[in-house]
Amino acid sequence: MIDAPRIIQLLMELRGQGITDTRVLSAIEMTPREQFVPEAFADRAYENIPLPIAQGQTISQPYIVAYMTQLLEVGPRAKVLEIGTGSGYQAAVLARLCRRVYTVDRYRSLVQEAQRRFQALDLHNITTRTGDGMKGWPEQAPFDRIIVTAAGREVPAALVEQLAEGGVLVAPLEEKPGEQVMVRLRRTPEGIARERLIPVRFVPLLPGVAEERQV
Ligand code: SAH
């Protein structure tokens, strides 16, 4: 069960922070974040803070998930690619708003755990894969929307190539060491339009499939 008073408080806080898209707010409301965090943090799941997950990664702050989801302008027919499955929380929120989510992580164990959560929540429109998301998912391209939830120096070229006409891509970029900014790219008939948005803090986007740390 979602903890009603706490989620309502979180939704009000998100509204106050500029999340005005009611579809985004209701997708957050329908997604039990406590099922995506380690048990030790379940009681903090509705605080507006990032939390640690396995493999030294993090589940983003609810505000950042809501903000990126709003920036993506996802419609019900959209085919969405996410790089950085992590806990699966962002993918679960997106799955409420679009036709299908393809999500990739470089840690097999994170992908397996996320997939288990999607099944438990009856989310059947999410397809997962373990791999290097910097290469995108060429077999399924093009994508109407692409979201990257780890910070690289630049948006990987393969992802820009796999973005459909009229498509939107949202990603954090580490422009200088320690300085990250959210960017939104849009494929227009004239080329790629780029917006620089707010400063952010994400774990790094790293190449290749990860060596699993012993547990
Ligand atoms: N969206 C996640 C949070 C992701 S944390 C959530 O909702 O919980 C960032 C994730 O990006 C980590 O799990 C990390 O393993 C992954 N990552 C980093 N570089 C990657 C790459 N090249 N390909 C795929 N995943 C990558």
Task: Report pLDDT for 213.
Answer: 60
DSSP states of 18-73 = T---HHHHHHHHTS-GGGGS-GGGGGGTTSSS-EE-GGG-EEPPHHHHHHHHHHHT
pLDDT at 3: 60
Residue 121 in tokens: 């929540």
* pTM summary value: 0.97
60: annotated active-site residue: yes
- From residue 95, give the alpha-carbon distance in Å to each of 24, 81, 89, 110: 11, 11, 10, 18
Domain ranges of the chain: 64-200
> What is the distance in A from the centroid of ligand 1 to the CA of 189?
30
CB-defined site of ligand 1, < 6 Å:
57-60, 83-84, 86-87, 89-90, 104-107, 110, 132-134, 149-150, 203, 205-207
Class level of CATH domain 64-200? alpha beta
Who's near 152: CB < 8 A, 6+ residues apart?
134, 171, 173, 174, 204, 205
Six-digit token pair at 98? 């679009």
- Report pLDDT for 4: 75
Where the chain has pLDDT below 70, the residues are 1-3, 213-215
Q: Which atom of ligand 1 is nearest to the CA of 133?
A: 23
Please tell me the number of Cα atoms within 13 Å of 100 on its side-chain side: 8
- Per-residue pLDDT, 19: 98
